[in-house]
Amino acid sequence: MPGSSEAEIYHGLAQPDYVNVMCLHASGDLVLVRQYRPIIDRWTIEFPGGLRDGDETPDVAGRREVEEETGLSVKELVLLQEAYADVGRLNNKLFGFFALVEGVPRSTEVGVEAVLVSSSLIRAMAADGKIAIAANVGLLYLAGYDPRVRTICHGLGFRRPPWMTD
């Protein structure tokens, strides 16, 4: 460590970057996935996402993960965040996106179920800890104030992003 006179041991993991995608369906509902997570031995509710494959760009990975986990098509993708996933143990980044999606949700992977959730319920789900990934909660905030996302929501007939209304 810089400034230290003694050698110190640190343990960390190197892995591909993550992508998480907050999806707004053209109907106004949000799209989440119910997914079994073996590491914590439980089912979670979260935004679609996963790891980048090889040299895949973050936006291509985001689109792929949405299509794989929900069966939906991405009409528009907006980058909201690029940050380190966990600076204490990991060297990878997290790319957070907003996506406008269309189609009929369907499960395409074993152990992953696409779920439409009313935008009016999502803030309570986040506050109650029902959304499993902390970065997903951050995406709700970032998307709510992003100018491009607000324009997309206005184009769908919403005065404000629907998850931001009381």
What does the pLDDT look like over 102-143, one tens digit per residue? 999 998 888 899 999 999 899 889 989 999 788 999 999 999
Which of 125, 160, 129, 126 lies closest to 144, judged by CA?
A: 160
Residue 98: predicted pLDDT: 98
If one counts every other C-beta atom within 10 angstroms of the C-beta of residue 28, the result is 16
Domain limits of the chain?
A: 18-164
pLDDT band with cut points at 50, 70 and 90 for residue 9? confident
Residue 50: predicted pLDDT: 94
Residue 13: predicted pLDDT: 84
Q: Which residues pair with 82 in a beta bridge?
A: 95
Mean pLDDT check: name the lowest of 28-37, 77-86, 123-132, 149-158. Answer: 123-132
CATH classification number, 18-164, choose in 3.40.50.11540, 3.40.50.10470, 3.90.79.10, 3.20.20.10: 3.90.79.10
Task: Supply φ then ψ for residue 157, to 5 degrees.
Answer: 100, 10
pLDDT band with cut points at 50, 70 and 90 for residue 2? confident
Q: What share of the chain is helix, strand, coil (3-state, %, to 5)?
A: 30, 35, 40
Two structure tokens written together for 120: 């009016």
pTM of the model: 0.92
Residue 91: predicted pLDDT: 87
Residue 87: predicted pLDDT: 85
Mean pLDDT check: name the lowest of 2-6, 16-20, 66-70, 146-150. Answer: 2-6
For 36-47, letters b (16+ CB in 10 Å) and e give eeeeeeeebbbb
One DSSP character per residue, 33-100 reads EEEEETTTTEEEEE-SEEEPPTT--HHHHHHHHHHHHH-PEEEEEEEEEEEES-TTTB--EEEEEEEE
| Upper half-sphere CA count for residue 47 (Cβ side, 13 Å) | 29
Q: Say how far apart CA 112 and CA 44 lie, in whole Å.
A: 10
Q: Which residues pair with 23 in a beta bridge?
A: 31, 99
Residue pLDDT, tens place only, 48-107: 999 999 999 999 999 999 999 999 999 999 999 999 988 888 889 999 999 999 999 998
Residue 13 is classified by DSSP as B
